[in-house]
Amino acid sequence: MNATTGLQLLLVAGGAVAVAAVARRRGWPAPLLLVAAGLIVSPVVPAIPLDPELVLFVFLPPLLYSAALDSSYLRLRDVWRPVALLSVGLVLVTTAAVGMAVHLLLPELPLAAAFALGAIVAPPDAVAAIAVGRRLGLPRRTLTILVGESLFNDATALTAYRVAIGAATGATVDLAMAAGEFVYAAAAGVGIGLALALAFAWVFRHTRDSLVENTLMLLIPFAAYLAAESVHASGVISVVIVGLYLGNQMHLRGFGTRLVSASVWKVTDFFLETIVFALIGLQLVTVVRGVGGYGAAELALYAGVVFLVTVLVRFAWMFPAAYVPRLLRRGDDRPAPAQVVIVSWAGMRGVVSLAAAFAIPDDVPGRPMLLFLTFTTVIGTLLVQGLSFPALIRRLRVSSEEERYQDLLAEANAQQAALTAGLERLDRAVEAEGGEPDEIQKQVIDQLKEKSWRRSLTAWERLGGGTAQGGAETPSALYRRLRRDMLRAEREVFVRLRDERSLDDEVMREVMAQLDFEEAILDR
């Protein structure tokens, strides 16, 4: 990478962060605004080609790992059937359907190249859909299915893509070989992921250092991806398995590791996703220049057909996949049709598809057209489905209000049980000390009990909507408001003493950190 390219990427990153900041302030979906901004400025800025290796080896592993780390292994286990049907079955069906449609549209294009395009556009990227769904209160099961699909579908699609590209470049491929390659890639990816997960879990048990553990966390996704890819296994599956395992074991880490980890991965996700979605829009000029030999009407027809096939195949697959297995297993709860429609419409494609298209070898026939059709499908799904997704959720009136109430009730009961256990442990500790506690000890004990009661009371207040009878401010809300005022006053004193040179900067940062942690607890 030369200085000019580095400067271009720096400008892209800075501009993308600025656009994302506006989107967050306005409450708009940042991925869609970033794509639109990239499309608008693409004709007036120097071309910035999308480097497939940058996406697949630098951006993809940490994004997958972060999503897996934040996912629930238990919830994913509950929805493994729909996730498998989407991430394996639907990807293969979409590959075949798009491939046949493209071959009929463009007979001069080899069938293997057409199937490569099908594999490229088959896997959705659920980042935008999940962000919108969480903001609008989609049920947890629906979100879990979308997360699970996005975690595993890349593995299926990239394996099918490699087989199709191999056939397009003259390699001998048969169905048995392709199936064997897929099984090997998946099984080896799982095995490597589990081995690395166990190894890193052992390391974490012997470190007990939040900085060391979080630094290792940053290296884990790259290690898992490269280890699997080096033996032609699925790096995607390897990263996901490691993330799910370590995420499920996060409670064993120290509180410092958990606090730092949450912040580190939020920043990492935000930074990488802003760059990725901006780069998608910025490919407009590069892609269009490659298909200069076709007329605008032809290109519009081809792009429209591929987009429609990609979208309609998902609908055609979703309803049988949602209901037929449940008919065979009596007693299972059936999803509401509205939820099936939402999952069907949540098929936005993303940067993995575009990176795979840019990675097509130059000697594959029709490469510029394959790249163009990938780009139009990605942009079409992001803008058409992405922009209409919030309205669809509101129109179908799918919400998680009952689920949120049950969550608050479960939290309140859990806080009550934890309070009882904590007070019992405190009483036993006081008894073990022997003798009557003095006045200072009594004050400490009373403060400990007060904090426990306040935390339990806050959970019950949230269950009631956060207000007391008559809409008055609850005791917990009053406490948080007054304590925040006190914290502001305390900070002003520390800053004044620092400016007067009565307090060293290092000491001020230490006491400020203590106040920050307390305020963070108030916000929970």
Q: What is the 3-state secondary structure (H, E, C) of 449-483?
A: HHHHHHHHHHHHHHHCCCECHHHCECHHHHHHHHH
Structure tokens at 396: 């179908």
- Which conformational region is residue 51 in: left (phi greater than 0), alpha (psi within -120 to 50 degrees), or beta? beta
Six-digit token pair at 251? Answer: 């409670």
Choose the CATH number for 3-399 among 3.30.43.10, 1.20.120.330, 1.20.1530.20, 3.20.10.10.
1.20.1530.20
pTM of the full structure: 0.85
Query: What's the residue count for the chain?
Result: 524
Q: What is the pLDDT along the chain (524 residues), one digit of tens a residue?
A: 567 777 878 888 999 999 999 999 988 889 999 999 999 999 988 888 788 998 999 999 999 999 999 888 888 998 999 999 999 999 999 999 999 999 999 999 999 999 999 999 999 988 878 888 877 778 888 999 999 999 999 999 999 999 899 888 876 666 777 788 889 999 999 999 999 999 999 999 888 888 999 999 999 999 999 999 999 999 999 999 999 999 988 888 887 888 889 889 999 999 999 999 999 999 999 899 888 888 899 999 999 999 999 999 999 999 998 888 766 665 556 788 999 999 999 999 999 999 999 999 988 989 999 999 999 999 999 999 999 998 998 899 887 666 666 776 776 777 777 778 887 888 888 778 776 777 787 787 777 777 777 767 676 666 665 555 555 677 777 777 887 888 888 888 889 888 888 888 888 888 888 888 878 777 66
Helix (H, G, I), strand (E, B) or coil at 491: helix
Q: Are 370 and 357 in contact (CB under 8 A)?
A: yes
Contact call for residues 357 and 122 (beta carbons, < 8 A)? no
pLDDT at site 467 = 54
Q: Tell me, what's the pLDDT at 384?
A: 94
CA distance 403 to 134: 13
In whole angstroms, give the CA distance from residue 311 to residue 347.
7
What's the pLDDT score for residue 226?
97
Can you give the pLDDT at residue 469?
55
Q: What pLDDT is stored for residue 379 in this prediction?
A: 95
Number of C-beta neighbours around residue 253 at 10 A: 21
Cα 96 to the center of its chain, rounded Å:
27
The Cα–Cα gap between 477 and 464 comes to 13
pLDDT attached to residue 490 = 86
Give me the DSSP letters along 22-73.
HHHHHT--HHHHHHHHHHHHGGGS------HHHIIIIIHHHHHHHHHHTS-H
CB 147 within 8 A of CB 82: no
* Residue from 312, 311, 281, 309 nearest 114 by CA: 309
CA 58 to mean position of chain CA atoms: 16
- Structure-block tokens of residue 317: 């697959």
- Bridge partners for 467 per DSSP: 473
> Which residue, among 143, 232, 149, has the nearest Cα to 187 in the 3D structure?
232
What's the pLDDT at 318? 94
- Asked whether 383 and 35 are in contact (CB, 8 A), the reply is yes
